[in-house]
Structure 1
Amino acid sequence: MAGVDSGIISSPQLPLDGRVAIVTGASRGIGRAIALHLRSLGAKVVINYASSSNQADLIVSEINSNSDSQSVQAIAVQANVSDPPQVKSLFDQVEQAFGTTVHILVNCAGILDPKYPTLANTTVDDWDSTFAVNTKGAFLCSREAANRMSRGGGGRIICITTSVVGSLLPGYSAYAASKAAVETMTKILAKELKGTGITANCIAPGPVATELFFAGKTEATIKRIVDACPLGRLGETQDITHIVGFLASDSGEWINGQVIRVNGGFTV
């Protein structure tokens, strides 16, 4: 990674060797797939989770048991990303575990109301909880990463948003608004980080076949969404993970302040 301190040794086979990545919301779904992919590229990974400790521990066990190295390649850290002290503790634990600051942050933690209420039927509590995780969580983690990466000589901040920001589907008002805020924040952050060697980008998936996507949807709704994609299928997690891996690597250095819609051409 250009701009990262010279103590990092990169292998041509593993482009993220020597780097540490935090993936929030990594116990399942897209976050889990991203963590596993970054590890396959050589990064040591931090599986952040809010409540799914068993799933997080299973991922960590899988990664460490499949590693040729004697050192720990993955840890699980519980932290509510909407709580400032817990976010600070997350980053502190990473530095204690791996002896270095984080080089890659992927903000993937997110929640979506499976009832898909109209704006008129969205409760204040549901609106607040959506923004607490999706927007405040991305803000707190990005802020912490920016300050620490600046001291370390560079890094990558990647926020997972949604293509619903563009398609504007009914029933997604809180979710889309929370992610639109993250996209605006990230574009500004990229400019503010001038001279630090840190890039900040968003990846905005379309419909991806995960537990979060299927929750609350009928077969008819799913079919309608598939039909709206020119490629005639739902996205798979690997459609997203390879773009994350590219942005996290040296090859992605010249992409900065961007929102990449990864959706197979999905439009509604």
Structure 2
Amino acid sequence: MDKIYTLKKASPKLLRIIKSFWLVDYQEDIALRKEKIIPDGYPELIFHLGDPYKININGVWQQQSQYLIAGQIKNCFFLENTGKSKMFAIKFQPWALTELLDIKMKTLTDKVIEIPQKLLVTLQPIKEVAMSSLSFDEKIKHIENWFLKFISRQNIKRFNGRNAVELIIKNKGRLSLKEIQNKVGISERSLERYFEMYIGLSPKFYIRIIRFSYIFQLTQKGCIDWAEVAFLSGFYDQSHFIKNFKEFTGEEPNKYKFSEKNMANLFLKK
């Protein structure tokens, strides 16, 4: 079976809004396959070009719609195809959906839902390109051009909260809240308010997700020394590292299949 997992970074002129684009295509009808999705700290718009998927976030399986918006997820969840599998998606910067579309991200925490009709009207040109027969690169080109025009018509204000998020990501989640507040010049309360509206998670929890995601980059260097990985990813000790990893993945790190070709590894590995 020929599986295609493709991820492409957004162009520099759009990186402040879009992190990347991705495509998953199994290229033929396949048997039911369950995929584990792990939190990575970025919201998405997802378009199913094949048959719909079923999703299980809170212990109940539900069939997904064709056009989806995904908020911040706190724990791993599962997807299962119902037939032919093909998806195209846009992975946004953590703050982007609020800045661009005035979405209160707290309402999307732990949710992957059908794009609301009012929002779908705004995003109609994006939907048409995403669902078209254009190549992956051609879709990206058209969508980026649309977003450049869309942004030019917006009055987007930059808040200190975004500076804090960028600092967390840049430092792989290895800064304390107090260090972040001091470097950015923002009060604890203002930071909490920003994260509630623009990110959908508390600053402390978001730091944990970004610090956790760095583990996947460290494992690509070859032979894995878990004590070294724990230290480099900012954990006080190996037991704390294992507990955190298991909380987000449901598995211990030495049992997780880092080399397997799946959606979770596509998003978390560089």
The TM-score range, normalised by the shorter chain, is: under 0.3
Q: TM-score, normalised by structure 2?
A: 0.28
Greater share of residues in strand: 2
